[in-house]
Homo-oligomer: A and B are copies of this chain.
């Protein structure tokens, strides 16, 4: 059996990520409106650092699905904003360990609330069991392609 369930007219939104783009834009707007001077991409790096900081840039690459130059520049910008600090590893001098600052620790609660709010708006009226199926499918898609 073919998996070819996409008529031409349906290719588009899957490939362009229409839904996730809309979610990201909505969250960015909430950041801007609340005076949170942060891009979604910067937030996504902080998101992983809030779970654990002191990790290498390479670990941030893996966690955020970005390449090394992207992380270099995101960390550059986060450092300019005084939200993270590069600390050279003592054991391995190739490695920068990335630490949160006091300022970025304060941002966690507020921005996570806005993120949850955004997802609740996005998923308004969608039944729980359909959300679960959707999450499952998207995870398989990712696993199929990684």
Using CB atoms and an 8 Å cutoff, list the residues of chain A in contact with chain B: 2-6, 8, 10-27, 40, 44, 47, 64-65, 112, 115-116, 118-126, 128, 130-142, 144-146
On whether the beta carbons of B144 and A16 are closer than 8 Å, the reply is no
- Please report the C-alpha to C-alpha distance between residue A19 and residue B15 in the assembled complex, in whole angstroms: 9
- Please report the C-alpha to C-alpha distance between residue A144 and residue B144 in the assembled complex, in whole angstroms: 28
- Please report the C-alpha to C-alpha distance between residue A26 and residue B146 in the assembled complex, in whole angstroms: 9
Main SS at interface, chain A: helix
- Please report the C-alpha to C-alpha distance between residue A3 and residue B126 in the assembled complex, in whole angstroms: 8
The 9 closest A-B CB pairs, nearest first, are A17-B20, A19-B138, A134-B137, A22-B145, A17-B17, A19-B141, A133-B133, A122-B141, A134-B134
Contact residues in B for A118 (Cβ distance below 8 Å): 15
Given contacts A10-B135, A20-B20, A133-B130, contact A141 B123 (CB under 8 A): yes
Residue of B nearest to A48 (CB): B12
Given contacts A4-B116, A19-B141, contact A12 B47 (CB under 8 A): yes
Contact residues in B for A122 (Cβ distance below 8 Å): 14, 141, 144-145
Among A6, A20, A65, A116, max chain B CB count under 10 A is at A20
